[in-house]
């Protein structure tokens, strides 16, 4: 194989969950007739109403004179103008903002947006200082583990746990006694709602983080891949927060368009400009077909309406089914805690004092025909030892309600057995 550079080595490593996915694919491939309930998927469900919306927008595009302009020509790095205009009009009207043209950047998926930010704003400055990428609350999106070329730049903070022992529920809170944002911070990043936990930082918590960052001119990137107005995957009240140093980042992936790779950054024009230049060097501009159909779906209000009326209830019902089954099936004497289901498309289960690692429990569950994702890869950038990181599991809400219920009953049996054996 060719000799790789430091960056080549770094980018050849697939982070956390990708390694587990390999094991899951192998398990399914060699299943030999065994049936598994697979609760590992991060791919959203194809909901008929959502697919229909994208079909309709495609037909409109095909029938319009715009088609050639969209696919047969290069465009601007910033993004396809009708999409930029649709986003500005929608957000200004909805949230009373005053966004202009220079506040928006369209990226090929939001993962790439975090890659641009991570390497433009995190890492070593020209005079050799390390600028950190601060994740204020760990666990968070596992993909953040792969975005920086300078791994030592990633710094995550252990949260505070709010536990309701009687109800077997818990919730992570940012630990403001520990969190440091200062001149060594390049930028701050978190998902809201959060993949994997379903946590939603409160409006006040977001404002507090932004206020801590503002004196140092530190941008705060709020990964809103699950937030309103689309895909609207919040089950609790939340308001998108905007501010001079907040970069609101969203994605159309959970609104039915993951294959088209559309990410949207909304923020201060100086930050947007740097990201845009980086994007030009990387790939010239984002593909335009997805942007063109998205501009129609957003402009007409159909995307926001379907998000609220179809996408959100779909996952919220799944969470309710999972929660009800766990409450019924899990032995009450075990220290199990489900994270409050405030949004996104996953449930996050904590088995406190689990007498084995998350990886071993995952193997035991596979024996019972259930696949979930062990939690340890969801703590990118957390440098301290914390047993909690090996006691959690991510459960995808993309399976059917009956599959979820059956899987949770089996999980309860396995949990009962492994705690009893210890
Ligand atoms: N951020 C979060 C929290 C996610 O869950 C995902 C995908 O699952 C992404 C970002 C990346 O999404 P995309 O690149 O498809 O916009």
pLDDT in tens, 51-92: 999 999 999 999 999 999 999 999 999 999 999 999 999 999
What is the pLDDT at residue 248?
98
Specify burial of residue 403 (Cβ count, 10 A radius: 0-12, 13-18, 19+): middle
The residue whose C-alpha atom lies closest to atom 5 belonging to ligand 1 is 195
pLDDT at 18 exceeding the cut of 90: no
Q: How far apart are CA 213 and CA 218, in angstroms?
A: 5
pLDDT in tens, 154-168: 999 999 999 999 999
DSSP H or E run through 339: strand 336-339
CA 68, 73, 74: angle at the middle one, nearest 5? 150
| Cα gap 297→308, rounded to integer Å | 14
Q: How far is the CA of 416 from the centre of ligand 1 (A)?
A: 34
Within 89-205, strands assigned E span: 104-107, 123-124, 130-135, 154-156, 160-164, 169-173, 185-191
Closest residue to atom 1 of ligand 1, CA basis: 225
The sign of the torsion formed by the CA atoms of 241, 246, 252, 258 equals negative
Mutate to test the pocket of ligand 1, among 225, 258, 348 (most ligand atoms within 8 A of CB): 225
282 pLDDT exceeds 90? yes
In a 10 Å sphere around its CB, with 0-12 CB exposed, 13-18 middle and 19+ buried, how is residue 369 labelled? middle
Q: Is the ipTM of this complex over 0.85?
A: yes
Residue list, ligand 1 pocket, CB within 6 Å: 42, 109-111, 141, 143, 191, 195, 223, 225, 251, 253, 258, 263
pLDDT of 329 > 90? The answer is yes
Task: Name the residue of 253, 258, 265, 373 to mutate for ligand 1: max ligand atoms within 8 A of Cβ.
Answer: 253
pLDDT given for residue 422 in this prediction: 82
Mean pLDDT of 280-287: 98
User: Is-contact 291 104, C-beta < 8 A?
Assistant: no
φ, ψ at 266 (rounded to 5°): -125, 115
**Burial profile 102-128: b = 16 or more Cβ within 10 angstroms, e = fewer:** ebbbbbbbbbbbbbbbbbbbbbeeeee
The residue among 34 and 116 whose pLDDT is bigger is 116
Q: What is the pLDDT of residue 380?
A: 96
The minimum-distance atom of ligand 1 relative to the CA of 194 is 3
CA of 42 to the centre of ligand 1 (A): 9
Q: What is the dihedral of CA 126, 270, 148, 294, to 10 degrees?
A: -160
What's the whole-number average pLDDT of the chain?
Answer: 96
Nearest to 399 by CA among 318, 317, 311, 329: 318
Q: What percent of the chain is modeled with pLDDT above 90?
A: 93
Is 343 a residue whose pLDDT tops 70? yes
Q: Kindly list the structural domains of the chain, giving each domain's residue range(s) and its CATH number in brackets, ordered by start.
A: 6-46+308-421 (3.90.1150.10), 49-305 (3.40.640.10)
- pLDDT in the model for residue 318: 98
**What is the predicted pLDDT for the residue at 15?**
67
Position 84 scores a pLDDT of: 98
């Amino acid at each position: 194989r060719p000799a790789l550079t430091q960056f080549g080595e770094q980018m050849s490593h697939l982070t956390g969950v990708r390694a587990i996915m390999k094991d899951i694919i192998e398990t399914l491939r060699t299943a030999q007739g065994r049936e598994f309930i697979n609760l590992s998927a991060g791919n959203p469900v194809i909901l008929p109403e959502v697919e229909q919306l994208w079909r309709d927008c495609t037909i409109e595009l095909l029938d319009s004179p715009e088609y050639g302009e969209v696919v047969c020509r290069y465009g601007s790095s910033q993004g396809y103008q009708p999409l930029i205009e649709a986003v500005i009009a929608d957000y200004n009207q909805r949230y009373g903002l005053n966004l202009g043209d220079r506040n928006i950047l369209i990226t090929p998926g939001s993962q790439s947006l975090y890659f641009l930010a991570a390497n433009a704003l995190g890492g070593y400055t020209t005079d050799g200082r390390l600028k950190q990428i601060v994740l204020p609350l760990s666990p968070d999106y596992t993909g953040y583990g792969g975005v920086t070329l300078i791994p030592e730049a990633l710094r995550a903070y252990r949260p505070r746990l709010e536990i309701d022992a009687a109800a077997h529920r818990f919730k992570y809170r940012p630990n403001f006694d520990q969190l440091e944002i200062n001149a060594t911070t390049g930028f701050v990043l978190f998902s809201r709602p959060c993949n994997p936990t379903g946590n939603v930082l409160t409006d006040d918590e977001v404002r507090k983080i932004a206020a801590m960052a503002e004196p140092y001119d530190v941008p705060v990137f709020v990964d809103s891949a699950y937030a309103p107005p689309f895909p609207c995957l919040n089950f609790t009240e939340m308001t998108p927060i905007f501010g001079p140093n907040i970069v609101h980042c969203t994605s159309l992936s959970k609104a039915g368009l993951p294959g088209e790779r559309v990410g949207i950054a909304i923020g201060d024009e100086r930050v947007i400009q740097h990201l845009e230049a980086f994007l030009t060097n990387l790939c010239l501009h984002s593909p335009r077909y997805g942007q063109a159909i998205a501009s129609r779906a957003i402009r007409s209000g159909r995307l926001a309406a379907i998000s609220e009326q179809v996408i959100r209830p779909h996952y919220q019902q799944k969470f309710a089914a999972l929660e009800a089954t766990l409450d019924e099936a899990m032995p009450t004497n075990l220290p199990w805690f489900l994270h409050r289901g405030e949004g996104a498309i996953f449930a996050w289960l904590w088995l406190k004092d689990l007498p084995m690692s998350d990886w071993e429990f995952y193997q035991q569950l596979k024996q019972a025909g259930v696949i979930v994702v062990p939690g340890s890869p969801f703590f990118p950038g957390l440098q301290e030892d914390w047993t909690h990181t090996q006691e959690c599991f991510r459960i995808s809400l993309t399976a059917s309600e009956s599959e979820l219920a059956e899987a949770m009953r089996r999980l309860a049996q396995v949990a009962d057995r492994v705690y009893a054996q210890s």
